[in-house]
């Protein structure tokens, strides 16, 4: 029989626990980003010129949407993305989009009503940010959530 003992004070235990939590969170973030990037690699964001192209682009992500945009807005991206944009930029980067290289530029945001959200929830929309016939960003928004363009796994 082998007995091993170690002396561990509360500060060291808290440090080990904090490190474990950080590693778990990082692993989860990498997994999610990998799924989003993998999905975005399958769908080309270029050559999006018409309503039909935008609807087809969303269909490639697995969404069924109304055939016409519910709203089209002309937006100007900020010259500099402050701290308030950090989570949004991370969401877009996880999908393979780099909004920072379009800082200060004018874009169009197309809003489409999603008809097949997995939970059956209504009022869910997809936004596509388009500049020069290329999708440069996008997200899905519902009453209590915001996520990338990939359909969430149940």
Could you give the C-alpha distances from 10 to 5, 16, 17, 54, in angstroms and in order? 16, 10, 10, 56
Q: Which residues pair with 130 in a beta bridge?
A: 108, 135
Alpha-carbon distance 62 to 151, whole Å? 7
Determine the longest span between alpha carbons in the chain, in angstroms: 74
Helix (H, G, I), strand (E, B) or coil at 72: strand
Compute the mean pLDDT over every residue in the chain, rounded to the nearest whole number.
82
Alpha-carbon distance 90 to 96, whole Å? 10
pTM score: 0.72
Q: pLDDT for 11-64, tens place per residue? A: 544 443 343 333 333 334 444 444 444 444 467 999 999 999 999 999 999 999
Say if residue 65's pLDDT is above 60: yes
């Amino acid at each position: 029989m082998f007995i091993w003992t170690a002396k561990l004070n509360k500060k060291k235990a808290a440090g080990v626990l904090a490190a474990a939590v950080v590693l778990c969170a990082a692993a989860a973030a990498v997994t999610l980003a990998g799924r989003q990037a993998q999905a975005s690699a399958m769908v080309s964001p270029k050559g999006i010129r018409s309503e039909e192209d935008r609807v087809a682009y969303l269909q490639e992500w697995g969404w069924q949407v109304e055939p016409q945009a519910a709203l089209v807005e002309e937006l100007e991206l900020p010259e500099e993305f402050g701290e308030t944009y950090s989570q949004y930029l991370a969401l877009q980067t996880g999908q393979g989009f780099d909004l920072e290289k379009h800082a200060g530029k004018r874009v169009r945001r197309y809003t489409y009503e999603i008809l097949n959200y997995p939970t059956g929830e209504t009022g869910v929309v997809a936004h596509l940010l388009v500049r020069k016939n290329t999708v440069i960003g996008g997200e899905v928004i519902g009453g209590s959530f915001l996520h990338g363009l990939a359909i969430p796994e149940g």
